[in-house]
């Protein structure tokens, strides 16, 4: 019996023909770009998380690009990003002429380490850069420590951005992702906890002026007339078909988050005595985009799991500051030891809301026997 790493087909079966009907409705009205479903989905997302404004866009990377444009980030500016994450978080800074400065992460949460952020700010100033923005990634589904990050950001005049590409639906205390920073960005890539059947993204903000600017920037910088483009912008709109699909998925999303946490709890109970399992901060709820454990012989474990028919993946085998296109950019202090260590030890196991107990037991037993 094959095991799916992420089982989108199980979700498809649960949704039944609702997605087909949603797609057919778009095909019937024919408004494929900025059709009514886009505004409906933006409203539904805001209602779900409590954000005043939601601006749909082409993908999660564009969402970050839009935020940097809205804040006027450019040459001479430092943008602080964790080294242990996907490339999209860092790549937007050079594209607007700014400099990414890599920050180490906490080895328990995998999220940006506030103490390392303080060091990174000094590093940036020593290099003649102007600290402007910190992009905190909610890695694998758990929100970063925004209270600590915001205190540091406020003392240095930094704008805080929450990169929630893996964490929409999560929460920290009473606040949901989408409301934890001035800007929150997310992705609807199919493998995300809330994913479409193509590319899509969104920006969340409570700032009325910023929302107006973002809506202009996502459509070529348009003014009141679409042929009067008042600023340099992007062509980054969420497709109507994807919005229609996401509306159907959002209807079952809260239930799926509960199921993801149930799966995570069973993993922790079954593996906590043999490997380093992830831990969620007190008062936080993760969406568990990935269930990532740590082991010194990660590659050996992956090979043995493959022999047992259990898929696994490594997120991420090379930290950002060691990748070819980014190794010349500044890092906090002299080194980023936690990011380096995690890249050698992490391995992710199958995780999705439809992972049944019998299959999960098979995975747990395969891990235990492999060790």
- Looking only at the bridges linking them, the beta strands covering 171-172 and 175-176 are antiparallel
Give me the residue label for tokens 């409301």.
Answer: 179
pLDDT in tens, 44-102: 999 999 999 999 999 999 999 999 999 999 999 999 999 999 999 999 999 999 999 99
Is the backbone peptide bond immediately before 169 cis, with ω within 30 degrees of 0?
Answer: no
Reduced to 3 states (helix: H, G, I; strand: E, B; else coil), residue 236 is: coil
- In the chain, what are the domain boundaries? 8-250, 254-370
Report d(CA 177, CA 310) in Å as an integer.
32
Contact 182, 162 (CB under 8 A): no
In sign, the C-alpha dihedral spanning 257, 260, 262, 265 is: negative
| Architecture of the domain spanning 254-370 | Alpha-Beta Complex (3.90)
**% of the chain residues with pLDDT over 70:** 100
Cα distance between residue 197 and residue 191, in whole Å: 9
Sign for the pseudo-dihedral over CA of 18, 22, 27, 32: negative
Contact 321, 370 (CB under 8 A): no
Please determine whether the domains at 8-250 and 254-370 fall in the same fold group of CATH.
Answer: no
Active site residue 192: yes
Contact criterion met (CB below 8 Å) for 250 and 268: no
Residue 154, phi-psi category: left (phi > 0), alpha (psi -120 to 50), beta (remainder): alpha
Catalytic residue among 25, 176, 182, 192: 192
Average pLDDT value for the chain = 97
Helix (H) or strand (E) holding 364, with range, is: helix 357-370
Q: What class has domain 8-250?
A: alpha beta
Query: Smallest Cα–Cα separation from 278: which of 264, 289, 260?
Result: 264
Residue-wise pLDDT for 284-295, tens only, equals 999 999 999 999
Neighbours of 361 (CB within 10 A): 12
The whole-angstrom separation of Cα 187 and Cα 189 is 6
Per-residue pLDDT of the chain in tens (371 residues, 90 and over written 9) = 689 999 999 999 999 999 999 999 999 999 999 999 999 999 999 999 999 999 999 999 999 999 999 999 999 999 999 999 999 999 999 999 999 999 999 999 999 999 999 999 999 999 999 999 999 999 999 999 999 999 999 999 999 999 999 999 999 999 999 999 999 999 999 999 999 999 999 999 999 999 999 999 999 999 998 899 999 999 999 999 999 999 999 999 999 999 999 999 999 999 999 999 999 999 999 999 999 999 999 999 999 999 999 999 999 999 999 999 999 999 999 899 999 999 999 999 999 999 999 999 999 999 999 99
pTM metric for this prediction = 0.97
- Secondary structure element (H or E) that encloses residue 347, with its range: strand 346-349
Q: What is d(CA 311, CA 4) in angstroms, rounded to the nearest whole number?
A: 7
Could you give the 3-state DSSP secondary structure of residue 223? coil
């Amino acid at each position: 019996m094959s095991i799916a790493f992420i089982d989108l087909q199980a979700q498809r079966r649960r949704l039944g023909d609702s997605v087909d009907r949603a797609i057919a409705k778009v095909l019937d009205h024919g408004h494929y770009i900025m059709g009514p479903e886009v505004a409906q989905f933006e409203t539904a997302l805001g209602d779900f998380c409590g954000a005043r404004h939601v601006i749909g866009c082409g993908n999660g990377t564009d969402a970050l690009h839009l935020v940097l444009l809205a804040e006027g980030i450019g040459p001479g500016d430092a943008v602080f990003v964790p080294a242990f994450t996907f490339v999209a978080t860092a790549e937007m800074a050079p594209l607007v002429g700014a400099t990414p400065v890599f920050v180490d992460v906490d080895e328990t949460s995998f999220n940006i380490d506030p103490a390392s952020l303080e060091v990174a700010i000094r590093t940036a100033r020593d290099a003649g850069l102007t600290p402007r923005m910190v992009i905190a990634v909610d890695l694998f589904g758990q929100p970063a420590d925004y209270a600590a990050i915001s205190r540091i950001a406020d003392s240095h005049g930094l704008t805080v951005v929450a990169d929630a590409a893996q964490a929409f639906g999560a929460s920290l205390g009473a606040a949901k992702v989408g409301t934890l920073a001035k800007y929150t960005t997310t992705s609807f890539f199919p493998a995300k906890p809330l994913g479409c059947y193509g590319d899509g993204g969104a920006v969340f903000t409570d700032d009325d002026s910023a929302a107006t600017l973002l809506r202009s920037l996502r459509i070529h910088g348009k003014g009141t007339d679409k042929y009067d483009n008042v600023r340099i912008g992007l062509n980054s709109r969420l497709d109507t078909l994807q919005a229609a699909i996401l509306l159907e998925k959002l209807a079952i999303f809260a239930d799926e988050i509960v199921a993801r946490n149930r799966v995570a709890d069973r993993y922790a109970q079954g593996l906590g005595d043999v490997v380093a399992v992830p831990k969620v901060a007190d008062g936080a709820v993760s969406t568990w985009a990935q269930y990532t454990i740590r082991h010194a012989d990660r590659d050996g474990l992956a090979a043995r799991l493959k022999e047992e028919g259990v898929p696994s993946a490594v997120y991420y085998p090379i930290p950002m500051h060691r990748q070819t296109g980014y190794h010349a950019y500044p890092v906090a202090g002299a080194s980023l030891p936690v990011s380096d260590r995690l890249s050698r030890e992490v391995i992710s196991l199958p995780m999705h809301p439809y992972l049944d107990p019998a299959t999960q037991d098979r995975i747990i037993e395969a891990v235990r026997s492999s060790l």
